Amino acid sequence: MELADAIKYGKIDYLSQHDYYQITGKSVRIHLTKGQKFKILQYRAEGQYLIEFEGEVYGADCSICDDDNAPETEWWVKVIKDSSFGWVFINKETVEFLPREF
């Protein structure tokens, strides 16, 4: 089974904003055999995920990830006031969601 085309970022603990948006990794194909596992690190958009496979990080189109068990993204916002800070979980009880306008 293939996860289709992927961008290999390598063995990293941090993906910079520049590398995330400029796609600086190497284009590769990931081949999975029965029993191999990969870890979903983050849903990006448009069916793209950041995944970890065999200790390396990839940006990949993952059609097998799009099912009823797909991960849900949670949004947390760090609030800083003077010298204090805290975290707010974002949901419909904590913020007002407005329609997007372009």
Per the prediction, the chain carries an average pLDDT of: 83
pLDDT band at residue 74 using 50, 70 and 90 as cut-offs:
confident
pLDDT (0 to 100) of residue 27: 85
User: Longest C-alpha distance within the chain, in Å?
Assistant: 54
pLDDT band at residue 85 using 50, 70 and 90 as cut-offs:
very high
Domain ranges of the chain: 2-65
In this structure, are strands 26-31 and 39-45 parallel, antiparallel, or unpaired? Answer: unpaired
CB-based burial, 78-88: b 16+ in 10 Å, e otherwise: eeeeeeeeeee
Pure H helices in the chain: 17-22
62 pLDDT more than 70: yes
Q: What pTM value is reported for the model?
A: 0.62
What is the percent of the chain with per-residue pLDDT over 90, rounded to a whole number? 18
Mean pLDDT value across residues 48-55: 89
Q: How far apart are CA 63 and CA 24, in angstroms?
A: 23
pLDDT band at residue 3 using 50, 70 and 90 as cut-offs:
low
The alpha carbon of residue 89 and the mean position of all alpha carbons in its chain are separated, in whole angstroms, by 18
Eight-class DSSP state of 83: T
4 pLDDT more than 70: no
